Amino acid sequence: MSDSIVLSAVAGEPGVYVVGGAVRDELLGRKPRELDLVVEGDAVAVARRAAERVGGALTVHERFGTATVLADGFAFDLAGARRESYSRPGALPDVELGASIEEDLARRDFTVNAIARRLADDQIVAFPGARDDLRAGVLRVLHDRSFIDDPTRMLRLVRYAERLGFEVDPDTAALVDPSLFATVSGDRLGNELRLLIREDAMAALERFGLGRALLGEGFQAAPGLFALVDVPLDRFGFTAREREIVAGLQRLRGVSGTDVELWRAFRRERPETIELLAAAGEESARRWLDDVRHRKLEIDGRDLLAAGLSGPAVGEGLERATVAMLEGRAPDRESQLREATAADEGEDRAGERGDRGQQER
């Protein structure tokens, strides 16, 4: 449905191209993940006409020569073909609109991503050698300054090599230089790390010696967020939620024990953390997810309030009852209520003994 919206929206527009990964995947016989559209000429004008054709909403970014069309709940972008230059290593590029499709392809990261297909007639336009590299399954940068201009391309090299199963051209591999990461902001590096995590490619950083160079000695060649368990994350713009998940993985690695011990360890942790542990083969996390967390008391706080408990004593009573239930000492409502109120009753009896002692004296 989404592809049909795009095609109908840009029907009859001569200078619209699908570019990059979508064309690469199509030529490989794979389903494209997304459609990136580039316009030779005025992308905003094309987007206005496209929005009218499909009755969509239009958002224009004049400064960047891009526009977004939203129709039937699906959004797609149109970007003007552009040239890019870099004022210094690692800087964001300076953009100049009004380029040809060939010039636009020449600014891209790897040859296999520098291929375009014109929608009007399906004509393929490719950077020199791009289709040969695609057939050979090779990742190659377009020029020797590629990683200097944008060091995040080294992380993309890892990701594409893992996703596509391609080999890295030896000359491209020789250009990999982890010291270049120092020229890039932590937020940009963090965005690339998230993509590596999403595609389960973190362990592959070691293949190019990038893991410890970027993340320090705490980096582990492990799947997903496990690679970051001992890595300080503040520099990379990770959210509080992401940092909490990683901290939870650090706390819970290797946790084992009785049902009560698992309950104490896991009950306040994020579900995502425990699910990651279970997916990694941690038996205790799987036991928690499959069994322990589903075992519920037959009493609740209202029962303890009715029994005369109040304030913190209610929570303490429920905890005592839960422990007794998990230990097999309180399998039913009556025994759980007895366990929950036992300490309170004991305090009352102790208080009564104290009062009698005072009266006797």
Find the mean pLDDT for residues 317-342: 97
Amino acid at 268: R
Give per-residue pLDDT as tens, 116-125.
999 999 999 9
**45, 111 Cβ separation under 8 angstroms:** no
φ, ψ dihedrals at 68, nearest 5°: -120, 130
- Stretch among 57-66, 273-282, 332-341 having the lowest mean pLDDT: 57-66
pLDDT band at 267 (very low <50, low <70, confident <90, very high): very high
Domains recognised in the chain with CATH numbers = 1-136 (3.30.460.10), 137-220 (1.10.110.30), 249-294 (no CATH), 301-360 (no CATH)
Give per-residue pLDDT as tens, 121-138.
999 999 999 999 999 999
Mean pLDDT of the chain: 91
Give per-residue pLDDT as tens, 192-244.
999 999 999 999 998 888 999 999 999 998 888 999 999 999 899 999 999 99
pLDDT value of residue 344:
54
Give per-residue pLDDT as tens, 44-69.
999 999 999 999 999 998 878 899 99
What b-and-e string marks burial along 41-60, b requiring 16 or more CB atoms within 10 Å of the CB?
ebbbebbbebbebbebebee
Judging by beta carbons within 10 Å of its beta carbon (0-12, 13-18, 19+), is residue 296 exposed, middle or buried? exposed
pLDDT value of residue 361:
45
Q: Over 80: is that where the pLDDT of 346 sits? A: no
pLDDT value of residue 79:
95
- The reported pTM is 0.82
pLDDT value of residue 222:
87
